[in-house]
Structure 1
Amino acid sequence: MHGEVSNDVEVGVTMDKVWDIYGSLKLAKVSGELLAGMVDKIEILEGDGGVGTKMKATFPPGSGFDYTIEKYTTLDHEKHLKVAEIIEGGPLKLGFSLYRVLIETIEKDADSAIIRSTIQYEIDDEFAANACFATTAPLDALAVKIGEYLREKKADA
């Protein structure tokens, strides 16, 4: 079985500022700070933020997953698109054979952007009931926090 879920979060910040974070290793640093309590630690295992970069997220006890390792498979600065696949841990322990995360930043207007989060997945038929765990909710929460973070930085400048 395969499927896809997607959601858009509008942030009152320019697309360039949003992509400056999502299109670089700043995402790992900022995510660790902004999602404290949801994520214990984010570490770069290898790479410079481009294709092939591997990142490990460790989660607090009781959060459902102990860790995930993702590998960036696409980083397109023209399309403002980053794609990563979970290669270890997390949803793979629930029967997913593919769990791909797509993040796209879209310019809404001169002062606002949309962060589109998409999960593409494949799950073994025997675990089909676990398909409900394919959700953009954590990515949406991060998008909201990044928007707030960037607006606060703008206000401080």
Structure 2
Amino acid sequence: MHGQVSQDTPVAVPADLIWDVYRGLELGRLVDKIAPDVLGRVEFLEGDGGVGTIAKFTFPPAPGIPEGGYMKERFIKVDDENRVKETEVIEGGYKALGFDVVRIRLEILEKDSESCIIRSSIVYEGDDKLADVVSHVSVKPLETMAEIVGKHLSDNKSTM
């Protein structure tokens, strides 16, 4: 079994500015700074933000999960020309639910000189026995991150 879920989030920030944040370590640093209670904490275990970088995300507590959860991912693609970043979950998160492969793809699509779309996707592969679990795969946290980061950058464009 394999599938994909995606969400497009429009933001009022130029694509190049969003990509500068999304492409490497800055996204994790910004999330830590502006939304740790909503999105969790990010820790970089290896790498400089390029392919091979390993990040650990510790999620905030949620109903039914008082201590939150975590996920480790490895950056597998950083394409500056097409503004695409892909990571593969290597531990925790949806991988802990039994999926064999879980990849996160973030694409920055230019709308015009002052706005863009952040397309967030999760691609998964696993045993057919996971059919009941598939309904829990959601890009909502990635959408929330895009909204929060987009608003922060839009509100602070003049100081950047």
TM-score range, shorter chain: over 0.9
> Which stretches in structure 1 are left out of the alignment for 5+ residues?
none
- Distance in 2 of aligned mates of 1:152 and 1:91: 33
- Structure 2 residue identity aligned to 1:132: S
Q: Offset of 1:155 from its aligned partner?
A: 4.5
Which residue matches 1:42?
42
Gaps of 5+ in 2: none
Range with bigger deviation, 61-70 or 72-81? 61-70
Alignment of 1:44-59 (within 5 A): 44-59=44-59
Whether the 8 Å CA contact 1:9–1:143 is kept in 2: the answer is yes
2:118 matched to 1:118?
no
Match of 1:86 in 2: 89
Question: What does residue range 129-144 of structure 1 map to in structure 2 within 5 Å?
Answer: 129-144=132-147
Report whether the alignment pairs 1:145 with 2:148. Answer: yes
Give the AA of the match of 1:42: V
Is 1:128–2:138 an aligned residue pair?
no
CA apart distance, 1:7: 1.0
1:28 alignment partner in structure 2: 28
Shift of 1:34: 3.1
| Identity of matched residues, % | 41
Please state if 1:154 is matched with 2:157. yes
- What amino acid sits opposite 2:112 in the alignment? D
* Contact 1:123–1:131 (Cα < 8 Å) also in 2: no
Deviation at 1:123, TM superposition (A): 2.3
Residue of structure 2 equivalent to 1:17: 17
Q: Secondary structure at the match of 1:129?
A: coil
Find the counterpart in structure 1 of residue 8 from structure 2.
Answer: 8
What SS does the aligned partner of 1:96 have?
coil
**Partner residue in 2 for 1:98:** 101
Poorly superposed stretches of 4+, deviation over 6 Å: none
- When normalised by structure 2's length, the TM-score is 0.92
SS at match of 2:131: helix
Q: 1:76, CA displacement in angstroms? A: 0.4
* 8 Å CA contact 2:60, 2:69 repeated in 1: yes
* Alignment TM-score, normalising by the size of structure 1: 0.93
What is the RMSD computed on CA atoms of the aligned residues? 1.5
